[in-house]
Amino acid sequence: MRTVAPVIRRRNDEANGALIGYLPVGFPTLDESVEAAVALVENGVDVLELGLPYSDPVMDGPVIQAATQQALANGFRLSHGFEAVRRVTERVDAPVLLMTYWNPVVQYGVDRFADDLAAAGGAGLITPDLIPDEGADWIAASERTGLDRVFLAAPTSTDERLVRTIEASRGFVYAVSTMGITGARSDVDAAARTLVTRLGEAGAEASCVGVGISTAAQVAEVLEYAQGAIVGSALVKALAEGGVAAAGALAADLARGTRSH
């Protein structure tokens, strides 16, 4: 099992920070999603975030929604998520987190899900619609299996909520750069910088910023104050329009942002 924190620390020692890349499992096909994930790592992505397609993706913008709906139409099953993690981790030395809404985990069985993810070589979960107050079952399962658990913090979070999120998270805290759904934006909100500052003051060891990052310049900007930058919609769009090669090329370009000063 490859956990996330050592990679983020290493990338902050040797570069400006870590680059985290998101792709949905099963898009355009299961095989292509695996190849695209491998291509991201081969082109400079440090941590992979693989999304499990879900019928009610409340956080996802139109690009990711369209991709996940196509994956579901193609017959995506939850078992494909574990298969993808196993196939990717057999080929590249990078931590793989699954991003999943909570209902599929409950339906599958929390302990069973944790066991199967650990067996596949996964690093842990990003759970956008699960708050720490309601996460006792997952916290217990992840403690037992050693999996990372990444909870989200928003610009509107109270100081008390930030402390609770930091205490419950392992790996990093996902700092949502702006209120709203995912999608590339021309400017990453100034709220992200304030949120990361608040997280640091509350004791967070690593905060990674997601939502709206799509260029190497934005990666570099975010890494001036955060420990990691998360890119999703831009990579999914590249994969949709240009295939695995285009996703890899964009990853290589984004990775320049980890080296910029």
129 belongs to a structural domain? yes
What strands, in cross-sheet order, belong to the sheet with 18-24?
148-150, 124-126, 96-99, 47-51, 18-24, 228-231, 207-210, 173-176, 152-153
Q: Which amino acid appears at position 16 of this protein?
A: N
The length of the chain, given as a count of residues = 261
62 belongs to a structural domain? yes
DSSP conformation class of 109: -
The confidence band for 184, taking pLDDT boundaries of 50, 70 and 90, is very low
pLDDT in tens, 134-162: 999 999 999 999 999 999 999 999 999 99
Q: pLDDT over 70 for what percent of the chain?
A: 92
Question: What is the total count of domains within the chain?
Answer: 1
The confidence band for 169, taking pLDDT boundaries of 50, 70 and 90, is very high
pLDDT value at residue 181: 41
249 belongs to a structural domain? yes
Please enumerate in sequence order all residues whose Cβ is within 8 A of that of 247, keeping only pairs 6 or more positions apart, or say none.
23, 36, 39, 40, 235, 238, 239
Give yes or no for a contact between 172 and 5, defined as CB atoms under 8 angstroms apart: yes
Query: Across residues 246-255, what is the average pLDDT?
Result: 98
pLDDT in tens, 55-80: 765 566 788 888 889 998 999 999 99
Q: pLDDT over 90 for what percent of the chain?
A: 83
250 belongs to a structural domain? yes
Catalytic amino acids?
49, 60
Is the predicted pLDDT of residue 182 greater than 50, yes or no? no
178 belongs to a structural domain? no
173 belongs to a structural domain? no
SS3 217: helix
What whole-number distance in Å separates Cα of residue 135 and Cα of residue 112?
16
211 belongs to a structural domain? yes
Is the bond into 28 cis (omega within 30 degrees of 0)? yes
User: Could you tell me the CATH number of the domain that includes residue 244?
Assistant: 3.20.20.70
Containing domain of residue 226, as a range?
A: 4-152+207-257
pLDDT value at residue 180: 43
How does DSSP assign 47-89, residue by residue? EEEEEPP-S--TT--HHHHHHHHHHHHTT--HHHHHHHHHHHH
187 belongs to a structural domain? no
